[in-house]
Structure 1
């Protein structure tokens, strides 16, 4: 039996999908239909009364049947009731929650005029007169089909008006008997089906147009919000670059004055060199902030989440900031960990570097501690919470939201350039969102701060090396080849590296590098060389034939495609201007920073 009932059940379900009137997935559509029903049909009782009057007066004159008067009282009483009912309705007060119920209530009332028109063939049918039967058929079928078409967007109303009229007319014609009345009765049934079919198609088109209107409004609203967001970003970027312009020009001006004061006849004083170094550091801080902004903008949609072992990343951060912490007599501690998190290694490295740098800046004594603890991830699974704690000045409750805004710097009203542009925590928040996480903050004035983010845990067996290392040879002189088409860069690198005790060779063109004798432990190459040459291609060729054992690529171009290109080649990538301490740590065997 279940097998026998299955086809009939499926047929009924299909018929319900086609003909049933159900709540719309978007209740705003039902609300719109309910409101427009009242607004569009308030005046229809007048036109309907005029049509009905022509109908019953015509048959009263032609037949003299007193049933026409009975029907006239019924139809006009019904129309008067419909008129006052629609006038009392307040469509603006229809709520979304009960929109379908309200629409159903309004549309169901169309059954009354449908039944009244269905009574006409039984109250004054012109039996025996084919011309008058044809006239009645014309009146009722035309009125019914026209009304169904006018009510198409309200499917229930169209059905409740059309079905009684056509079925009543068909039944009375079949009861009349005779060839022509019987054919007309069958034609009325066919006309009912055709009217409902076309009305349903029209109903779906009209409802879809309402849906499209809401979708267009939603898209327009989304576009408006996106344009507002873009305008805000543009204004923010303008503020950032205006501030950066000021903070770049000031140390450049000071540096130019110091250089102009140098004389071949008198060696520079130690204080002058310290001031020059401070100016260079201020320049680097501003440029690094702009670099982070450019990379965050370029990589927001290109983050590659992979298993990242956190220990090498934290070790690289320790080497990078140990000197800064020591200069302020701070204890910089990184607790050992075997954690592996799902993240983008470069984005996470920059994020933590900003947090550690911020902690050192605002801590005047005590400890900066970086730890990794087990926690629940944002998705609810196993995760790791990375915390950066300090014993610094702390943050008041009223300022906790402001610290993540661009340019905000607690305890820096004088805009000390050595403290940066105030973009660090703003960038940290953006990078956390790129990793599908967020920054949590616990702090109290005078008691330090703890910034943390939680990332999903990953398996060590799947972890990929998040950073490429250069072979460690601490205390050993290395042969280093510098390949760069800019003469000042080559000379500066020669002075720096040779000062550290390395044997340095310089080349401006790949052919010069090929002609240099012997092999090199390390190639420091620019990504783009003069004349449109690819420094990466040259490095790959030199590496492939054993001319250089290892490669580090430098670039001043922040295009994210460069990062992908170098990553595919398997080389570390450093952005200019490179920090000398970072480069020194790299030569000593540290991981390439992001």
Structure 2
């Protein structure tokens, strides 16, 4: 058996050795039939040539010798041989068998050389010797993968030629014998080297395949872990959003009830805490929505100064509380991007910079570079070590926050920035010096200015809905609410009744059917159908609502409310074309959604 080793390697795994040997065996057996047939034909030709070139007294010996060679070749041709179906463990047996057959064939062929000197024709002897050495060399090269076969075939045949030439003597025969000996040594020496190269090459190939397989396994494991993380976040987010949604609704209803009483300030504090928790859940939702591919950018020409003004208004108070300088410099530049997604990127970067800057300040600037625009967010904060530069874009990773200080967020903001950068094709560059600060740079296309920035940049949509007064629609009928959570049904009913809506809340499709089939239902038509996306026993609110609208011929619009963050379900929600609100839903968000669904007169609601 070969020794499949490489320089600097003392041992090779036994399975790897066996695989290498199998490849060697497959290589020599690939030309097995051709080699045997060629040898038999060559022996017959040499026999015929010798039969008519030597004295008649030796012709019978020639015939007998050629007959034995042919019989051995026929045995080798028809005996069992290795096939790809042979188990790996049997490779050594077939390697040994191949070597034995090659040695037998070579040993039976060696006596043929004795007749060369009998010819007594120098030119003919030289010609035949060169022909034999040439065919022998080619046959030995075909056996390089197996050293035992190479030596077993090479030495007997060439030794017979060398001995025969030296035995009969004479200058020419001695020269030819020496030439054949040198050819034997050089060919076998080169064969040993080639065997090592072939073995080393196969070892490297198999090791690379093993490394590639392990890499695929690691990638698959990473993908599974990422999918499991996404499922966990989706499940956790959904389960947290349900009670959060109820708290937000009860809090809004309570705030309306206590609007002019001293206790209202407690409700305001409660709602601020709810909003903070909702912001964290929204960050998880953003990750899921981006991973699900449900966020589609709408690039258009937009004025950066309008975005910068909004950023300054948003973060000026936060910077002032930390005694930091916030410089947002006007540029007069226009870029081509999605206003809301770009604002979200900048919002996260500025928010992150302020959190990690204990003194100094944060600067936001924009400048042109050819047909591109650079937006840079610079800070004089704690900086980022080189080994952390890639990790800061991972979910939940935060620099210098081992205690998970909640004031620094969840560590999701930069992960969202990276995803949005890829979605918008806005490359992100990072440059940082620990203790001196950090610079993030976004690159995007330059755009031609338009008549008015308001045409392409709905700034009011970028701000939190809770900051505005909202409008309450006048519905010409009832609201049919379907939600399997009792607390949410009660909270939604209480809230909407404070705004004058007639609400009927049920847990599922069966109860909704009963409501719609009651006598007098036509006198109180359904003006709005609100469904939770995930109902009890695996039912989907979208399908339930569509069946109700078709069965009872309801003209009322439908609104879905969901706490789902699983990417696959978000894709189905987006594909349905029905308006969707994500829990927790504030009173302002709910009223705004209803206003957009129902084309009726609206009245302002005090907050």
TMscore range, shorter length: 0.3 to 0.5
Taking structure 2 as the reference length, the TM-score comes to 0.44
Taking structure 1 as the reference length, the TM-score comes to 0.45
The structure with higher relative contact order (CA 8 Å, sep 6+) is 2
Bigger CA radius of gyration: 2
